[in-house]
Amino acid sequence: MSAIRVAVIGANGRMGSHLCELAHASPALTLAARVVAAGEAGGVQLAELDPQSVDVCVDFSHRAAVSEVAEWIARHGKPWVLGTTGLSAFDEQALAGAAAQAPVFLASNFSIGVALLADLCARAAKVLGVDADVEIVETHHHGKRDAPSGTALSLGHAVAAARGQDLSNVRRDGRVGQVGERPVGEIGFHAVRLADIVGEHEVHFAWGCERLTLRHDARDRKVFAQGALRAASWLVGQKPGRYGMSDLLK
């Protein structure tokens, strides 16, 4: 079986570098192209990428590039693994257009462990219901720009969906001052920023005289690159549509 040809978009970034390194080292994959932004050296720009030389694109570039990449994906029908977070409504619309023409895999966190954590949280939430208080605490390095993390929000969505809630109606970001009694069914989020921590997520359930804490720690950023390449291998051959980590676990 031929090796899967991978184009890494955002190849000069931190995650892009890990992806290129792992793809190059894998016997099942071939690093077909390093795609870089205009003015950057060490690769090709997206407009120069030959679609015939690529089986799947893995993209950890920047939110500003999402619409451009989505247009390229839709035009050529190539599978697209996207790890960019903080997408706008316009980005989501571009993503939907691409997913109509090609398989698109979107995740805020490509760790298999985090995917399992989300599954376990949903199971716990379904059993415990809205009577259990839920607090989600995420810790990342001090350079992270968004809060709460996309992964924390994904965990919150998993809990809310399992309890029949809309997260936007029950979400609370931190607490300060006289906030009053905690409402039933609320899901709290707390962001911690410390030094060079890669990523830690804790989901706390408390009810009656009991408490359950589910936790995942990422010790090396390569775990996300490994998961993204696993997703890329799986995505090749799938039908157009939108996919995520839960599909990978089936």
Between 109 and 85, residue with greater pLDDT:
109
Judged on CB neighbours under 10 Å (0-12, 13-18, 19+), 201 is buried
Point out the residues that are catalytic: 140, 144
Tally the C-alpha atoms within 13 A of residue 93's C-alpha that lie toward its C-beta: 3
Q: Report CA-CA distances (Å) from 203 to 136, 215, 238.
A: 5, 6, 32
- The pLDDT score that the predictor gives to residue 85 is 80
- The pLDDT score that the predictor gives to residue 125 is 98
Q: Is the pLDDT of residue 217 over 80?
A: yes
Residue 90 in contact with residue 34, Cβ under 8 Å?
no
Q: Is the pLDDT of residue 155 over 80?
A: yes
Tell me the residue ranges of DSSP E strands in the chain: 4-9, 29-35, 56-59, 80-82, 103-106, 133-140, 171-173, 187-193, 199-207, 210-218, 241-243
- The pLDDT score that the predictor gives to residue 108 is 87
- The pLDDT score that the predictor gives to residue 97 is 98
- The pLDDT score that the predictor gives to residue 250 is 85
Average pLDDT over residues 190-215: 98
Q: Report CA-CA distances (Å) from 42 to 12, 13, 39.
A: 8, 12, 10
Residue 250 in contact with residue 24, Cβ under 8 Å?
no
Q: Is the pLDDT of residue 222 over 80?
A: yes
**For 56-75, how does the pLDDT look when each residue is reduced to its tens digit (9 = 90+)?**
999 999 999 999 999 999 99
Between 39 and 169, residue with greater pLDDT:
169
**For 172-194, how does the pLDDT look when each residue is reduced to its tens digit (9 = 90+)?**
999 999 999 999 999 999 999 99
Q: Is the dihedral of CA 239, 249, 227, 105 positive or negative?
A: positive
- Residue 211: CB atoms within 10 Å: 11
Average pLDDT over residues 236-240: 98
> How many whole angstroms separate alpha carbon 244 and alpha carbon 82?
10
Domains along the chain? 4-106+222-248 (3.40.50.720), 112-218 (3.30.360.10)
Helix axes 14-25, 222-235, angle to 10 degrees: 60
Bridge partners (DSSP) of residue 30 are 5
Q: How confident is the model at residue 126 (pLDDT cuts 50, 70, 90)?
A: very high
Q: Is the pLDDT of residue 145 over 80?
A: yes
- The pLDDT score that the predictor gives to residue 86 is 80
- The pLDDT score that the predictor gives to residue 88 is 92
**Average pLDDT over the chain, rounded to whole?**
96
Average pLDDT over residues 93-99: 98
Q: Is the pLDDT of residue 1 over 80?
A: no
